[in-house]
Chains A and B, each alone.
Chain A
């Protein structure tokens, strides 16, 4: 059931929020041992009492969802799916959490993710590996794999994830749901565990564009607690969802992305079908290329890891989280706490980050990356002078098997190739399902827009969705 349908049923008193909450709980209990989406489900009384308003006042009143395990809620555990924060209890709530509760949302639990949001498959979580509900031998994508898998399996109608290099869009493509990344600064980062502060944004996952836009409407808008927050007021992002696209809409098909080397033939076919569908809706699709985008992954690797090395230096065993036992000195305690508490991928990224920032290497790597990042952003801005939105793949392949990249970490990192450029440019994007592979795995595409074009992205995505069957397909195992 979509949020829209759910709210109708609540209004007509055909269903009560507590009934629905219990229904979802039984679904989790029955199926989440296969999907492994959620680290912790909360007890119903505390879920209900946390919601600030009831039926009449909140537009998400009684609608259950999940927060990625990097988003704070007062009194709840949060661990970034890492051992270094095992047992940590959030002493305050993230702004996004507060805003959801102000609309009466039921926050049901915390979703599994890659450790510190570092990964593209949710395999690096220190606690468990979430599976793709469509095929549990495949990954759900990452880092927001738990959030997205829970929505795809129909355990919750919405979930929040976070994006640094594509961590909501990529799993959304792998799991056949709608994943959204806002303009940098549109959604507050206050109370969200930082990975790369100049790139991080909270993103939304839901089964339909309308649902996604509704949840997004609750969380977006200026926040005085986040110094990088844009001075944009709260608004209703569902208003423009007419089912039609904007008259005269011009979409740029990014050739160096759509026809890039390494795209699975079935993905390529689905992309072409999506393009045709957009034209049928009345969009004018023109071809263009953004050469600087080819360097997006390399730039992302440098910038994100450098910032991560800085952000994760706070985890030292002093004030919170894990503290290594039997340390003789303070220095020992730092080194052993971090050595024991961080998983391999996190260590890898911190080391690379410090390497590219260090004297003798910073010019060649980090500073060069920042210059190329500006070139990528310029490339997008120039493209948007000619077109309204850009069309490109979200991922090169459908969901891959567990362990596929165990021996080739770089190949895993390159899963971010099509998603990271939007994060680097600070612009919004929506990932939409557009087909199923012969192996019954979801295929997707993405639309990318200029700064603050969220309404256009939602409107166009909604029109595409309503003209196609993809949003009605769900993995059949979880009935």
Chain B
């Protein structure tokens, strides 16, 4: 049975870009482990099967033309949703922390 350590979970959380509080760790580990255990039989079952091709494997493209209809979203409507804006730009915190 796959055991997940606290370190594993925090690494996974960092990968998923989600902060996990200390008091959430134990519960999350328990939940994840139980689902993984339930799914652990899949590897063996899959060994008896051959990967079938997907039913539809066609690339579907649409015309490379800008939105024409009244229902298409306008840039200003989309930009209006940004939490912080400066003219046409979306403002976010700095990437690297400045040394004070």
Residues of A that sit less than 8 Å from B by CB: 74, 88-89, 91-93, 98, 185, 224-225, 227-229, 295, 297-299, 301-302, 305, 309, 313, 316-323, 327-336, 338-340, 342, 344, 347-348, 350-352, 354-356, 358, 363-365, 367-372, 374-375, 377-378, 409-410, 413, 426
A-B contact pairs, 12 of them (CB 8 A): A227-B62, A302-B42, A327-B93, A330-B92, A350-B18, A352-B32, A352-B35, A352-B36, A363-B43, A365-B39, A377-B55, A410-B31
1/0 contact trace for B16-50 toward A, CB 8 Å? 11111100100110011011101111110110011
Select A426's contact among B32, B42, B55, beta carbons within 8 Å: B55
Complex: chain B residue closest to A326, CB-CB? B93
Q: How far is the CB of A259 from chain B (nearest CB, A)?
A: 21
Chain B residues within 8 Å of A229, by CB = 60
Asked if B88 CB lies within 8 Å of chain A CBs, one says no
Chain B residues within 8 Å of A297, by CB = 38
- Considering the complex of A and B, which 10 residue pairs feature the smallest CB-CB distances, nearest first? A339-B19, A91-B77, A368-B46, A374-B52, A323-B83, A92-B73, A371-B46, A91-B73, A320-B81, A368-B42
Q: How far is it, in angstroms, between the C-alpha of A334 and the C-alpha of B19 when the chains are bound?
A: 9
Name 13 extra pairs, CB < 8 A, besides A313-B17, A321-B81, A342-B18.
A224-B62, A228-B60, A318-B90, A323-B84, A330-B92, A331-B17, A332-B93, A333-B93, A340-B19, A367-B46, A369-B42, A371-B49, A409-B35
Asked if B94 CB lies within 8 Å of chain A CBs, one says yes
Number of A-B contacts (CB under 8 A): 168
Q: How far is the CB of A346 from chain B (nearest CB, A)?
A: 9
Number of interface residues of B (CB under 8 A): 54
Complex: chain B residue closest to A325, CB-CB? B83
Q: How far is it, in angstroms, between the C-alpha of A354 and the C-alpha of B45 when the chains are bound?
A: 22
Q: How far is it, in angstroms, between the C-alpha of A371 and the C-alpha of B45 when the chains are bound?
A: 9
Q: How far is the CB of A364 from chain B (nearest CB, A)?
A: 5
In contact, A93 and B41 (Cβ under 8 angstroms): no
Q: How far is it, in angstroms, between the C-alpha of A91 and the C-alpha of B78 when the chains are bound?
A: 6
Q: How far is it, in angstroms, between the C-alpha of A416 and the C-alpha of B90 when the chains are bound?
A: 41
Instruction: Find the residue from A91, A227, A327, A344 having the highest chain B CB count within 10 A.
Output: A91
Q: How far is it, in angstroms, between the C-alpha of A76 and the C-alpha of B41 when the chains are bound?
A: 45
Chain B residues within 8 Å of A367, by CB = 46
Asked if B51 CB lies within 8 Å of chain A CBs, one says yes
Chain A residues within 8 Å of B78, by CB = 91, 319
In contact, B73 and A339 (Cβ under 8 angstroms): no
In contact, A351 and B18 (Cβ under 8 angstroms): yes
Chain B residues within 8 Å of A224, by CB = 62
Q: How far is it, in angstroms, between the C-alpha of A338 and the C-alpha of B29 when the chains are bound?
A: 19
Chain A residues within 8 Å of B84, by CB = 323
Chain A residues within 8 Å of B72, by CB = 92
In contact, B93 and A372 (Cβ under 8 angstroms): no
Q: How far is the CB of B13 from chain A (nearest CB, A)?
A: 7
Chain A residues within 8 Å of B35, by CB = 301, 305, 352, 409-410, 413
Asked if B1 CB lies within 8 Å of chain A CBs, one says no
Q: How far is it, in angstroms, between the C-alpha of A364 and the C-alpha of B36 when the chains are bound?
A: 10
Complex: chain B residue closest to A363, CB-CB? B43
Select B12's contact among A319, A321, A330, A354, beta carbons within 8 Å: A354
Asked if B86 CB lies within 8 Å of chain A CBs, one says no
Chain A residues within 8 Å of B12, by CB = 351, 354-355, 358
Q: How far is it, in angstroms, between the C-alpha of A303 and the C-alpha of B100 when the chains are bound?
A: 46
In contact, A329 and B93 (Cβ under 8 angstroms): yes
Q: How far is it, in angstroms, between the C-alpha of A334 and the C-alpha of B74 when the chains are bound?
A: 26
Q: How far is it, in angstroms, between the C-alpha of A339 and the C-alpha of B96 when the chains are bound?
A: 21
Chain A residues within 8 Å of B18, by CB = 335, 338-339, 342, 347, 350-351
Q: How far is it, in angstroms, between the C-alpha of A369 and the C-alpha of B51 when the chains are bound?
A: 10
Chain B residues within 8 Å of A333, by CB = 92-93
Q: How far is the CB of B45 from chain A (nearest CB, A)?
A: 5
In contact, A298 and B38 (Cβ under 8 angstroms): yes
Q: How far is it, in angstroms, between the C-alpha of A295 and the C-alpha of B44 when the chains are bound?
A: 12
In contact, A98 and B71 (Cβ under 8 angstroms): yes
Q: How far is it, in angstroms, between the C-alpha of A153 and the C-alpha of B34 when the chains are bound?
A: 36
Q: How far is it, in angstroms, between the C-alpha of A297 and the C-alpha of B16 when the chains are bound?
A: 24
Complex: chain B residue closest to A342, CB-CB? B18
In contact, A320 and B82 (Cβ under 8 angstroms): yes
Complex: chain A residue closest to B34, CB-CB? A410
Report if A351-B16 is in contact (Cβ < 8 Å); known contacts: A333-B92, A375-B49, A409-B31.
yes
